Amino acid sequence: MYRKNAWENYDGEERARLGAFADAYRAFLDRSKTEREAAASAERVCRAAGFQNLDDLIEAGAALMPGDRVYRKWMNKSFMAFVVGSESIERGMRILGAHIDSPRIDVKQNPLFEDDGLAYLDTHYYGGIKKYQWLAMPLALHGVIVKRDGSVVSVAIGEGEDDPVLCITDLLPHLAQDQMAKTASKFIDGEALNILIGSAPAEGDDKDPVKRAVLEVLKRDYGVEEEDFVSAELEAVPAGKARDAGLDRSMLLGYGHDDRVCAYPSLMAVADYEGTPEMTLCAVLADKEEIGSVGASGMNSHFFENTVAELAALMGCEKELSVRRALQNSVMLSSDVSAGYDPTYSGVFEKKNAAMLNLGVCFNKYTGSRGKSGASDANAEFMAEVRRVMDDAGVCWQTSELGKVDVGGGGTIAWLCAKYAMNVIDCGVPVLSMHAPWEIISKADLWEAYKGYCAFLRA
Q: Which stretches within 61-190 are classed as H helix?
A: 177-180
Q: In the Cβ-directed half-sphere of 401, how many Cα atoms lie within 13 Å? A: 21
Binding segment (CB under 5 A) for Mn ion, from list 79-87, 199-207, 258-266, 271-279: 258-266
Provide, rounded to whole angstroms, the least separation between the CB of residue 45 and Mn ion: 20
Binding segment (CB under 5 A) for Mn ion, from list 56-64, 135-143, 330-338, 354-362: 330-338
CA distance 142 to 159: 9
Binding track over 207-246 against Mn ion, x by CB under 5 A: ----------------------------------------
Whose Cβ is closer to Mn ion: residue 224's or residue 413's? Answer: 413
CA distance 332 to 330: 7
Whose Cβ is closer to Mn ion: residue 49's or residue 449's? Answer: 449
Whose Cβ is closer to Mn ion: residue 38's or residue 218's? Answer: 38
Whose Cβ is closer to Mn ion: residue 103's or residue 277's? Answer: 103
User: Which residues neighbour 109 within 8 Å (Cβ) at sequence distance 6 or greater?
Assistant: 229, 230, 232
Among candidate residues 281, 256, 258, the one with its CA nearest the CA of residue 269: 281
Tell me the angle at which helices 35-48 and 12-31 cross, rounded to the nearest 10 degrees: 130
Query: Applying CB under 5 A, which of residues 68, 233, 259, 439 lies at the interface with Mn ion?
Result: 259
106 lies in the site for Mn ion, by CB under 5 A: no
Q: Which of residues 11-70 bind Mn ion (CB under 5 A)?
A: none
Whose Cβ is closer to Mn ion: residue 111's or residue 437's? Answer: 437
Provide, rounded to whole angstroms, the least separation between the CB of residue 252 and Mn ion: 16
Provide, rounded to whole angstroms, the least separation between the CB of residue 226 and Mn ion: 33
The pairing of strands 280-286 and 93-99 is: parallel
258 lies in the site for Mn ion, by CB under 5 A: yes
CA distance 146 to 439: 31
Whose Cβ is closer to Mn ion: residue 215's or residue 337's? Answer: 337
Provide, rounded to whole angstroms, the least separation between the CB of residue 266 and Mn ion: 13
439 lies in the site for Mn ion, by CB under 5 A: no
336 lies in the site for Mn ion, by CB under 5 A: yes
Binding segment (CB under 5 A) for Mn ion, from list 5-13, 86-94, 321-329, 332-340: 332-340
**Count of residues that bind Mn ion according to CB under 5 A:** 3
How many helices (H) and strands (E) are present in the chain, helices listed first?
11, 23
Provide, rounded to whole angstroms, the least separation between the CB of residue 56 and Mn ion: 31
CA distance 87 to 90: 8
Whose Cβ is closer to Mn ion: residue 111's or residue 411's? Answer: 411
Q: Which residues of 375-410 are buried (b: 16+ CB within 10 A; e: fewer)?
A: bbbbeeebbebbeebbeeeebbbbbbbbbeeeeebb
SS3 401: coil
User: Which residues contact Mn ion by CB under 5 A?
Assistant: 258-259, 336
